[in-house]
Amino acid sequence: MSLLRPYIIAAVLFAAPLAHARALDGAEIVHTWNRLIIDVIMEDGFGPPVAARIHSYSNLAGYEAGRHQTKGYRSMSGMLNGFSGVPQPSADSTYDWRVSMVAAYQVACSKLLYRIHFSDSLAKVQLAQLSAEIAPDVFERSKRYGVSVGTAINAYARADGYNRTQGLPDYEWPRCDSCWIPTPPNYARPLSPYCGRVRTIVLKQASEFPVPPSVRFSTDPRSKFFQAAQEVVDISRNLTPEQREIANFWNDNPVVTNYHGHFVFNSRQISPGGHWMNIAQQVMVDRQLPMVACMEVYCNLAFGLFDGFTACWQEKFRGNLIRPITYINQHIDRTWEPLLQTPPFPEHASGHSTITAAAAEILTSYFGDLPFTDSTEARFGYGVRKFASFRAAASEASISRLYGGIHYRRGCDAGAEHGAMIGKAVLDRVRVKPE
């Protein structure tokens, strides 16, 4: 029994009546796929780093299969680490690139997602609509091409080492005074501890950019570290209603476990990466960007998220810094609880701050300092917020982790600095359109 499923089913069925009214719009297809991917990620329960990987490879498949729709878009072959040899369409045949794109999305999703009956049925609905619009031989050729691109992307994805991390022994975290240990209330084992070992997509390696260090650890009440923890306590005790709202709005914890005696259940929410994919969608729908342009934005944004998480995770599990709740319960207040549930991995630096800064850099480069309204969280009961720019939103998202009591201020700031560097690197290295 799930409350989520109706959303996905709605997303799948939504495509059908649209198509009756008019030809299936390429950009709408792209957005529908991205909505579905966000929802199935929630249903499948992927953690944020793995979610970003899914966003990346699925949109890469869509882009490579559909980019021919608009002249001038280059293949990303050669721009991404270890990525080459994408199948090319035959120059003297006719294709419908929407069909190729749908087929590529479906093939990629079949290896990336778990609940693939959702992606399969979306593809089925869309392909049925498209096959009615175009000649059968064109349809078949286009579909075959899309499948070949999707298959190539799957081989590329498989080579990034993620699958092998699944066969590794469980991660054993180090023990020390400053070390992260599992946190209440779940005391869960660390999420995706080996993600820092997965091949980055744009960065030369996960540690390409240095993460600004945290405050030097100490248990001395006069130390900067103690004061940093004390600040978390002080802020949490004096939260304004707006700060509380901000913390919840950007919580983006995909799985929160709720305990009511023996009634234990998980609340699902969009992941930080999914939140930004959704912001991008809202802006692109608003501005009616065409199909290939949409995929370019989705791809680069997803790469920023993926490399942001990979780089951040590499640092998190290198430094293994203690979370505020552990430090505070040990040294300041045994009973203190944060507003938000502490996610299960080391503190430094804030993953949300990292990917948010990267995302803001990337979206700003495409759309400038654009005021926008974000209603991503409305369906989770956390309302709608307006922002002056992507960077303003990013800075609010970053500080929200301090309000939520799950990061020190330094962890937020360091993540934001790190993320901005990653965002710029993606923009610098993935250039698919001639200037």
Partner 1 sequence: MQRGRLIAIGALLLLSAANGLQAQLFKALPSSNSGVTFRNDITETESMNILADFNLFNGGGVGIGDLDGDGRQDIVFTSTNRGIAMYGNLGRLQFEDRTQASGLVVDDTLINTGVLVADITGDGLLDVLISRRYNPNILFVNNGSGRFHRDTASPLAISMYTTHAAQIDYDRDGDLDLFFVNSGEPRRSGYLNPGRADRLFRNDGGGAYADVTSLCGLSDKGYGLSAAIGDVNDDGWPDIFVSNDFEERDILWINQKNGTFTNKAQQQLPYMSWASMGSDIADVNGDGMLDVVTLDMLPRSNYRRQTQIGGMSIYGPFFDSLQRVQNCFFLNRGNGNFVEIGHLAGISATDWSWCVLAADFDLDGGLDLFVTNGTKRDIGDQDYAYNLRSTGITSLKEASMKMPSSKLPNFLFMSTGGLRFRLASEETDVNRPHVSNGAAYADLDDDGDLDLVVNNTDDEASLLINTTCDGGADDKSSRWVGLQLSTGGNRQGIGARAQVHVSGRTVVREIYGSRGFQSTSDTRILLALGVGESADSVVIDWPDGRRTWHGAMVPGRYHRIEQQPMGTPTIDFFERAQSSPDTSVSRSVRPLFNEVGDSVFPFVHRENAFDDFKRERLLPYRYSKDGPRMTIGDVNRDGLEDVIIGGAKYQPTQCFLQQRGGTFQAASCGLDDMTSAEDVDVLLFDVDNDRDLDLYVVTGGAEFADGDEELADRLYLNNGKGQFMRSAALPDARDAGSCVVAADFDNDNDVDLFVGGRIVPGKFPSGARSVLYRNDKGVLRDVTDQIAKGLSTIGMTSSAVWADIDGDKDPDLVVVGEWMTPSVWRNTKGTFENVTSSVIPAALRGWWQCVRAADIDRDGDQDLLLGNLGLNCRFVPEPGRPIRCRTADVDDNGSLDQFITKDIEGVEVPLRGRQVMIQHMPTMTRTFTTFDSYAKASIDDVLAGRDTTSMSSMLVETFASGVLKNSNGSFAFQPFNDLAQVAPITEMLVDDLDGDGNGDVIIAGNLRTADGEVIGYDGGMGLVLRNQGRGVLKPMTSKESGFVLFGEGRDLGIIRSGPRRLLIATRNSAAARLFALPDGK
Residue 115 or 318 with smaller CB distance to partner 1:
115
SS3 61: helix
Q: Which two tokens stand for residue 281?
A: 């969608």
As a whole number of angstroms, the distance between CA 323 and CA 343 comes to 9
- Residue 21 lies near partner 1 (rule: CB under 8 A): no
Residue from the set 92, 242, 263, 434 that interacts with partner 1 by CB under 8 A: 263
Whichever of 52 and 357 has its CB closer to partner 1, that residue is 52
Rounded Cα–Cα distance for residues 406 and 349 (Å):
11
Q: Closest approach of Cβ 51 to partner 1, in Å?
A: 13
Is the omega angle on the peptide bond into residue 51 within 30 degrees of 0, that is, cis?
no
Among residues 219, 267, 373, 375, the one that binds partner 1 under rule CB under 8 A: 267
Kindly tell me which of 69 and 119 has the beta carbon lying closer to partner 1. 119
Where does this chain touch partner 1 (CB under 8 A) — which range of 9-17, 192-200, 252-260, 278-286?
252-260
> In the complex with partner 1, which residue's Cβ is closer, 93 or 257?
257
Of 138 and 188, nearer to partner 1 (C-beta) is: 188
Q: Toward partner 1, which CB reaches closer, 40 or 312?
A: 40
The site for partner 1, by CB under 8 A, has a size of 48
Q: Which is nearer to partner 1, 72 or 169 (CB)?
A: 169
Q: 372-374 and 263-268: which strand pairing?
A: unpaired
User: What is the smallest separation between the CB atom of 12 and partner 1, expressed in angstroms?
Assistant: 15
- Which 8-state DSSP code applies to residue 177? T
- Closest distance of CB 113 from partner 1, Å: 8
- Identity of the residue, 44 or 296, whose beta carbon is nearer to partner 1 in the bound complex: 44
The least CB distance from residue 188 to partner 1, in Å, is 8
Site string for partner 1, 372-391 (x = CB under 8 A): -------xxx----------
260 scored as a contact of partner 1 (CB under 8 A): yes
Structure tokens at 383: 């309302």
Interaction of residue 216 with partner 1, rule CB under 8 A: no
Looking only at residues 312 through 371 of this chain, which bind partner 1 when binding is defined by CB under 8 A? 334-335, 337
The dihedral through the CA atoms of 325, 327, 330, 334 has a sign that is negative
Tell me: does residue 264 bind partner 1 (CB under 8 A): yes
Whether the Cβ atoms of residue 367 and residue 390 lie closer than 8 Å to each other: yes
Which string of x and - marks every residue 156-195 that binds partner 1 (by CB under 8 A)?
Answer: -------xx-xxxxx-x---------x-xxxxxx------
- Give CA–CA dist 58/66, Å, rounded: 12
The least distance separating partner 1 from the CB of residue 210, rounded to whole angstroms, comes to: 31
The interface with partner 1 within residues 85-124 (CB under 8 A) comprises 113-117
Token code pair at residue 247: 């913390």
Cβ proximity to partner 1, 8 vs 284, nearer residue: 8
Contacts of residue 195, defined as CB under 8 A and 6 or more positions apart, other chains included, come to 49, 50, 165, 309, 310, 313, 314
Q: What amino acid occupies position 65?
A: A
Residue 240 in the binding site for partner 1 (CB under 8 A): no
Residues 6 or more apart whose CB falls under 8 angstroms from that of 230 comprise: 332
Q: How many CA atoms within 13 Å lie on the side-chain side of 295?
A: 34
The minimum distance between CB 303 and partner 1, in angstroms, equals 23
Give 56's contacts (C-beta < 8 A, 6+ positions apart): 201, 299, 302, 303, 305, 306
Question: Could you tell me how many helices (H) and strands (E) the chain has, helices first?
Answer: 15, 4
Q: How many CB atoms sit inside 10 A of residue 409's CB?
A: 17
CB closer to partner 1, 269 vs 400 = 269
Q: In degrees, to the nearest 5, what angle opens at C-alpha 41 toward C-alphas 250 and 422?
A: 60
Burial class (CB in 10 A: 0-12, 13-18, 19+), 428: exposed
- Residues in contact with partner 1 by CB under 8 A are 1-4, 42-45, 113-117, 163-164, 166-170, 172, 182, 184-189, 256-269, 334-335, 337, 379-381
